[in-house]
Amino acid sequence: MNNNELVTKPHYPILDGLRGVAAIIVVTFHLAEPLSTSNLDKLVNHGYLAVDFFFLLSGFVIGYAYDDRWNKMTAGSFFKRRIERLQPMVVLGMTLGAIGFYFTDSTLWPLIHTVPVWKMLLVMLIGYTILPVPLSLDIRGWEEMHPMNSVGWSLLFEYIANILYAVWIRKFSKTALSILVGVAAIALAHLAITNGDVSGGWTLNVQHMRIGFTRVLYPFFAGLLLSRVVKPTRIKHAFLWCSLLVAIVLYMPRLGGAEHLWMNGIYESVCIIIVFPLIVYLGASGVTQTQRENRICKFLGDISYPLYLVHYPLVYFYVAGISNHKGVTMVQALPYALLILISSIILAYAALKWYDEPVRKWLRKKLG
């Protein structure tokens, strides 16, 4: 089978744009995070739900792109295409984290300067595969499965969902898929309501792995189900309204406080189980109104994945600076946060044009 048999289908431009909006909000979430003391007082309190939104978008797009191609595509060719799409930026993200590693020594990570170079390089090379490292290789001290680039954990679960889809769940009928999605929704709501939120998934232990699997199973396969059962209509101004909805959900302050954790859990359950699929449906139904809106959506979609992978190596410097200057206020941190945000967007665009697109083109030729 050659690649000409799998001509890329038209994109949903508004969904591409929404992915970029969510990616920018993720950056603001990570920049606000060091100024908080816990999940209860974060300034961008529900920014981490962008990951759940990404999973749902992924499931929808994978279903749309591949569901009707399995009569002329093997699981091997599917995995080649996913590796070609995802892996180049994983490698760059881990490399950037390694380059900056020793320069982020701080009171928050006091042992960084004691880590031998061979160990750092080993963690980087394992990171290239997106496989998690055990706590014995936690060289940063945050109990992360990807110490070179914190966001790698979500890519691990993205890959797991893709594998489950390709080898098994793509064969499910709509009824069987609906049952799976219903059970996954119950598990997600239980996690959110008992914990107060769905935050977690980045440590290689039983608790975080449970959170990670719970967070990916519902949204990814709900997105897949949505792609199979919903027929988009035509909705005007969908990009504007959907962007506002995404921003409202992710910037919503914490609900219930420490005394009523369940309230926030209900909020997050409703957002992931109901609101996110609604946003994806509206986005898929929307049409861009002008060439300018189309260009904005394309730009945001193009930089969304590079931005997600390159921003955290820059955030490490920012977090180190905050930890070395106790009592920094939001006003004092704002210029540095804006610098990191703008630099991350510029770096993401440069990575897209000078690295990601050329490498993916080369991989397409090599992998056939």
Short-list 42, 48, 54, 41, CA closest to 25: 48
Structural contact between residues 12 and 296, judged by C-beta atoms closer than 8 angstroms: no
Cα 34 from Cα 320, distance rounded (Å): 9
Tell me the average pLDDT across 264-288: 96
Give residue-wise pLDDT tens across range 39-60: 888 889 999 999 999 999 999 9
The predicted pLDDT at position 366 comes to 85
What tokens appear for 107 in the block?
């009171």
> How does DSSP classify residue 197?
S
The predicted pLDDT at position 1 comes to 38
The predicted pLDDT at position 7 comes to 53
First to last CA, the chain: 9
Confidence band of 234 (pLDDT split at 50, 70, 90)? confident
Phi, psi dihedral angles at 116 (to 5 degrees): -65, 150
Inform me whether the pLDDT recorded for 105 exceeds 90: no
Inform me whether the pLDDT recorded for 30 exceeds 90: yes
Cα 129 from Cα 179, distance rounded (Å): 33
Give residue-wise pLDDT tens across range 108-158: 999 999 999 999 999 999 999 999 999 999 999 999 999 999 999 999 999
Percent of the chain at pLDDT > 70 equals 97
Inform me whether the pLDDT recorded for 61 exceeds 90: yes
Give residue-wise pLDDT tens across range 165-209: 999 999 999 999 999 999 999 999 999 999 999 999 999 999 999
Inform me whether the pLDDT recorded for 73 exceeds 90: yes
At position 245, the amino acid (one-letter code) is L
Cα 368 from Cα 362, distance rounded (Å): 10
The predicted pLDDT at position 4 comes to 44
Work out the mean pLDDT of the chain and round it to a whole number. 94
Q: Where do the DSSP E strands lie in 59-184?
A: none
Domain boundaries, the chain: 3-367
The predicted pLDDT at position 367 comes to 80
Cα 142 from Cα 213, distance rounded (Å): 20
> How does DSSP classify residue 198?
-
Cα 5 from Cα 301, distance rounded (Å): 25
Give residue-wise pLDDT tens across range 235-274: 889 999 999 999 999 999 999 989 999 999 999 999 999 9
The predicted pLDDT at position 8 comes to 60
pTM here is 0.96
Inform me whether the pLDDT recorded for 101 exceeds 60: yes
At position 255, the amino acid (one-letter code) is L
Cα 88 from Cα 186, distance rounded (Å): 35
Cα 308 from Cα 88, distance rounded (Å): 13
Burial class (CB in 10 A: 0-12, 13-18, 19+), 65: middle
Exposure b/e, 277-316, CB count within 10 A at least 16 = b: bebbbbbbbbbbeeeebbebbbbbbbbbbbbbbbbbbbbb
